[in-house]
Amino acid sequence: MFGRMFIYKLKELVRNRFLIGWNFLFPLVLATAFYLGFGNMIKDDPDSFKAIDVGYVNTAGEDTNFHKVIGELSEETSDHADILNVSEYTSEEEAMKDLKGEGGIYGIYVDDGNEIKTIVPFNGYRATALNQIVREYENKITLIGNIAKDHPENLDTALELVTKDMNIAKEYDFGSGISLYLQYFFALIAMASLFGSWISTEMIEGMCANHTEKGKRFECAPVSKLMSIASGVLAGASMQAVSNAIVVIYIEYVLKIKFGIPLWNVILITTLGSGLGISMGVLIGALVKNKRLFDIIPIVFSMTCSFCSGLMWDQIRQMIQANAPILNKINPAALLVDCLYTRATYGTIDVYYQDIGIMSIMIIGALTISAVLLRRRRYVSL
């Protein structure tokens, strides 16, 4: 029974041209407009971190551990972006020609198997990063040597701990170098998620006998009201989740704007955002009794939250955080933007999980309150 109601409700939503236009097409059009406005600023942002071009010379005559380390740092993984762009040379003199000419390398590593010599011609963050990589590598090698000398019985455990992350540089140090302008795309996704509230109010309106003729038939139907509402909420959340996934894929693969987050992770976060938008709409539908406000309040709610999350002005969220941080914690759009931004910049730190936790609590709380209010709704006559 539940499955049939879910399918019927999903078909009903898909056939609604208003919802398809605003929930599916408008975010794509706005994403395209953002791309035309400042897409190149995101791709070529001078403040974003880019892989450092470095030369590598191996004089040891065999593969070394350091060669493996810089090989890992030159690959993009789910944990970090590529940090080094390594060019191998047969001699130091050959590498020096590119360092001084137009080869574009910012430094040279000379590896003899025991000691790593770093050659950097200029100061700057690139020189600091190249030196820091060698310093961290040597610290780990020294640590292993000391343990092998003083406590050989703990050598296996030490090796396991030290080699657990041989990348040395993590995303918390370098991040993915996301552009300031990328926040507009995060806010766009948050806005699209809150558009799900329109789906909910449309659904609730069709279940209220004092609003539509269909609502009268619904109230008289011999079916579980809770099951009907639950199937409608699930259908709306599924529709909005697909819409958000399409927007994410369009931005990532068509517009070529990288979020700095694994695609599956972005889709999971936006799916949670879809549930948040749907639950907020159900709560609005349960609280509002005036039919005229059913269309106005979701629009005002969505656009106000989106504005405060940085959709029109990227600094507004930071200003609110500095002066009234509690507002960012109760703004669904700001929570979603902060969750995406934190994941892209710092990784899965406490703030990331805190945002997910707050959004989950808001979903549960909104649906619980809505269930109580809708269950108590009574009519004098039908």
| pLDDT at residue 145, as a whole number | 72
CA dist 198 → 204, 206, 279, 336 (Å): 10, 13, 11, 18
Numbers of helices and strands, H then E, in the chain: 18, 4
CB of 240 within 8 A of CB of 336? no
Burial 171-184 (b: 16+ CB within 10 A, else e): beebbbbbbebbbb
CA dist 242 → 23, 236, 270, 274, 367 (Å): 10, 10, 10, 9, 21
| Pick from 368, 344, 3, 380: nearest CA to 174 | 344
Q: What is the pTM of this model?
A: 0.67
Domains of the chain: 2-44+177-375 (no CATH), 52-174 (3.40.190)
Map tokens 């080094």 to a residue.
84
| pLDDT at residue 298, as a whole number | 86
DSSP track, 94-121: HHHHHHHTTS---EEEEE-SS-EEEE-S
| pLDDT at residue 210, as a whole number | 60
Q: Is 50 left (phi over 0), alpha (psi -120 to 50) or beta?
A: beta
* Burial group, residue 251, by CB count within 10 angstroms (0-12, 13-18, 19+): buried
**Tens digit of each residue's pLDDT, the chain (382 residues):** 677 778 877 887 788 888 788 888 999 999 999 888 876 666 555 555 577 888 888 887 777 778 877 887 777 655 556 778 888 888 888 888 777 555 578 888 888 877 888 888 777 777 888 888 888 877 777 777 777 677 676 656 655 555 555 444 444 444 445 667 788 899 999 999 998 888 888 777 766 656 666 666 666 666 666 777 788 888 888 999 999 999 999 999 998 888 878 889 999 999 999 999 999 988 988 888 777 787 788 889 999 999 999 888 878 888 998 888 899 999 999 999 999 988 888 888 889 999 999 999 999 999 899 888 877 665 555 5
Degrees to nearest 5, angle at CA 96 with 92 and 101: 160
CB atoms within 10 A of CB 322: 8
SS3 call for 58: strand
Tokens representing 8 are 């019927």
Amino acid type, 51 = A
| pLDDT at residue 175, as a whole number | 45
| Pick from 40, 106, 61, 75: nearest CA to 255 | 40
| pLDDT at residue 222, as a whole number | 62
CB atoms within 10 A of CB 31: 23
| Pick from 202, 182, 117, 123: nearest CA to 345 | 182
